[in-house]
Amino acid sequence: MTQHTFMVTFDTETSQWIWDTEQEGERLDGLTLFTGIGHGYDQVGANAHPVLFDLEDSLAERLGLAIKLLNGHEKDEPVMKEVVPTARVYPCTLRVPIGGTNEYTMRETKIGVIPYGFKGDSTEELIEDDDVFYWCQADEFYEGAVICDGWVIAQIEAGL
């Protein structure tokens, strides 16, 4: 049995999936993992392993087709249209400093992410606004971010 690794990247600026051969070359150095052969990683080459070389070609053709299908789907239903312009709310745990000491307490709350391009003066029209403790921009929202008054996002429950 062999395992063949390819790298696919999604570019948020072009909303396109690409076969990232540059990253493959840098990270994998063109290597394919051979399991059960006894020497771990080895270069796939037509002379050294002709069957694996043919398999690699077939897998590459299928990956090319899959990327075309993904990009076709992006034209019809772009993921960026679903995610970026929509307000999102996440359950979070905040680390809250206790007045002038090196101690802190933890607080469970909801943090909202303001949609890209939002022009409103108030967040009142955004989803779940009454339940959101703090609204931030997408690039400010990550574990370890200081959101206000030294309050730090300690944990985010993503994918809900």
Q: What percent of the chain has pLDDT over 90?
A: 41
Residues 51 and 89 in one domain: no
Please say which residue of 80, 97, 132 terminates a domain.
80
User: At which of 43, 63, 80 does a domain end?
Assistant: 80
Q: In this predicted structure, what is the pLDDT of residue 135? A: 94
> Which pLDDT band, with edges at 50, 70 and 90, does 69 fall under?
very high
- What is the reported pTM? 0.61
Residues 7 and 71 in one domain: yes
Which of 12-26, 61-75, 116-130 reaches the highest mean pLDDT? Answer: 61-75
What does the pLDDT look like over 72-88, one tens digit per residue?
A: 999 888 887 777 778 89
Dist CA 144 CA 108 (whole Å): 15
Q: What's the pLDDT score for residue 108?
A: 96
Alpha carbon distance 34, 44 (integer Å): 9
Residue 121 has pLDDT above 90, yes or no: no
74 and 117 assigned to the same domain: no
Q: Give me the pLDDT at residue 26, please.
A: 81
Residues 76, 88, single domain; the answer is no
Find out whether 140 and 113 touch, Cβ atoms under 8 Å. Answer: no
Are 53 and 73 in a shared domain?
yes
- The residue among 45 and 142 whose pLDDT is bigger is 142
Domain span at 14 = 2-80
74 and 89 share one domain = no
CA–CA distance, 148 with 137 (Å, rounded to integer): 13
Residue 62's CB: how many other CB atoms inside 10 A?
11
Return the minimum-mean-pLDDT range out of 18-22, 68-72, 74-78, 116-120: 116-120
> Each residue of 23-68: pLDDT tens digit?
887 877 766 666 555 555 555 555 667 777 788 889 999 999 999 9
Residues 119 and 135 in one domain: yes
Q: Residues 107, 138: one domain?
A: yes
